[in-house]
Amino acid sequence: MKYHSRKIFYLIISLLAIICFSLLIMLNIANEKPKSSKIITTSFVGYDFARAVTGDASNISMLLSPGAELHDYEPTPEDIINIKKADLFIYNGGESDEWVEKILKDNEIPESKTFRMMGYVDLRLEDDLDDDDHEDHDTDDEPEYDEHIWTSPVNAIKIIENLKNKLTELYPEHAKSYSEHSKSYISRLKTIDEKIREIVANGSDKPLVFADRFPFQYFVDEYGLTYFAAFPGCSEETEASSKVIAFLIDKVKQESLEVVLKIELTSDKLAQTIAEETGAKILELNSAHNISKADFDNGVTYADIMENNLEVIKEALK
Ligand SMILES: [Zn+2]
């Protein structure tokens, strides 16, 4: 009897110890949960590439709100606090991120905690604008690089490869999973790249006409495409001159183009005008500057966007 009660006593003590131990572990896990995201990115592509490498978006946050205009973004004080707290801050590094360098310097954020996408691809200078039309432009002579590097899937692959290395340095315990995730995303992008090359090789030599801004310089260079656009780069202009409109209408007619292109999240007023004059249909080539709220919530990826673009290019080069 004595023996039995002692046995029960020890059993209860052991059970209590196990319960306490488990509780401690659970509390510890709860405390370790980051209050803010570990990876912060300025824009959608950075977000997408980090998600592709890690295979999980729960620790990544994008400063730009879905659907918002990338070129108008300015960081809030809270954004800056979050950048300081992050393990890694991913930014593009061009004109739209001009605010970044100052914030990194003022807050003494070391280079080891940043990833500048433009540092990993061959850059090209922005196309010069006609000077007489743009007197209000900066007068300094510093060359400005075209920031839309991600519009080329080949560049996207280079960036993801380097981002994987950077994230592996930060979280070596995830090396295997990062390597697997990035490998499968890169292989999807390589297939897209091959398909575009095939479409271009089998398609017509006709130019693409953009009744819009033109952030696709890296894309057309990569695939040897010719183009005409209403505005260079991501010009803030939205009203095309009658000269430009007439020029684009002529091009569509001369080349008997069946497609006139516009980009995402912009007005299609100009494209409508050209379409009405020429009978061409309007298609959207998505430059992935940002993503709509609905697409963001549905987990649409850069690769999904490029897969749609592929069909648009096919149609335009028919
Ligand atoms: Zn842009």
Domains of the chain, CATH where assigned: 39-122+146-187 (3.40.50.1980), 203-287 (3.40.50.1980)
Q: Is pLDDT above 50 for 64?
A: yes
Given a cut of 80, is residue 18 above it in pLDDT? no
* Mean pLDDT across 104-127: 95
Q: Give me ligand 1 centre to Cα 270, in Å.
A: 18
Q: Mean pLDDT score of the chain, rounded to an integer?
A: 89
pLDDT in tens, 163-214: 999 999 999 999 999 999 999 999 999 999 999 999 999 999 999 999 999 9
Whole-number pLDDT of residue 30 = 46
Looking at residue 35, its pLDDT comes to 46
Question: Is the pLDDT reported for residue 247 higher than 90?
Answer: yes
Whole-angstrom Cα distance, residue 157 to residue 184? Answer: 11
Residue 32 Cα to ligand 1 midpoint, Å, equals 38
CA–centroid distance, 123 to ligand 1, in Å, is 15
Length of the chain: 318
pLDDT at 26: 57
Q: What is the pLDDT of residue 22?
A: 64
What percent of the chain has a predicted confidence (pLDDT) above 70? Answer: 85
Of the pLDDT bands very low, low, confident and very high (cuts 50, 70, 90), residue 127 is confident
Q: Mean pLDDT, to the nearest integer, of 23-51?
A: 74
pLDDT band at 78 (very low <50, low <70, confident <90, very high): very high
| Full strand arrangement of the beta sheet holding 39-41 | 60-62, 39-41, 88-91, 114-116
For 151-164, write each residue's pLDDT tens digit: 999 999 999 999 99
Q: What is the pLDDT of residue 25?
A: 54
Residue range 132-137: average pLDDT? 44
Please tell me the distance between residue 27's alpha carbon and the centre of ligand 1 in angstroms: 45
In sequence order, what are the residues at sequence separation of 6 or more whose Cβ sits closer than 8 angstroms to the Cβ of residue 120? Answer: 158, 159, 162
- For residues 112-139, one letter each, b for 16 or more C-beta atoms within 10 angstroms of the residue's C-beta and e for the rest, the string is ebbbbbbebbebeebeeeeeeeeeeeee
- Cβ–Cβ under 8 Å, residues 283 and 251: no
CA distances from 92 to 165, 235, 245, 292 (A): 17, 18, 32, 20
The Å distance, Cα 23 to ligand 1 centre, comes to 51
Distance from Cα 138 to the centre of ligand 1, integer Å: 18
Residues 156, 204: Cα–Cα separation, whole Å = 26
Check the CA dihedral 110-116-122-124 and report its sign. negative
Q: What is the mean pLDDT of residues 269-288?
A: 97
**Mean pLDDT score, 110-135:** 79
Region of poorest pLDDT, from 14-23, 110-119, 173-182, 284-293: 14-23
Q: Phi and psi for 121 in degrees, rounded to 5?
A: -135, 165
Task: Identify the pLDDT of residue 134.
Answer: 43
pLDDT of residue 34: 42
- Span from the CA of 31 to the centroid of ligand 1 (angstroms): 40
Cα-to-centroid distance, 261 and ligand 1 (Å): 16
d(CA 131, CA 191): 41
3-state secondary structure of 261: strand
Please give the C-alpha separations between residue 156 and each of 148, 260, 267, in angstroms, as whole numbers. Answer: 11, 26, 27
Quote the CA–CA distance of 202 and 51 in Å, as a whole number. Answer: 34
Instruction: Answer whether 264's CB lies under 8 Å from 210's CB.
Output: no
Q: Which of 15-19, 49-53, 54-58, 101-105 has the lowest mean pLDDT?
A: 15-19
217/7: higher pLDDT: 217
The label of the residue with tokens 């980090």 reads: 50
Burial of residue 172, with CB atoms counted within 10 A of its CB: 0-12 exposed, 13-18 middle, 19 or more buried: exposed
Q: Which of 155, 186, 190, 152 is nearest to 313 (CA)?
A: 152
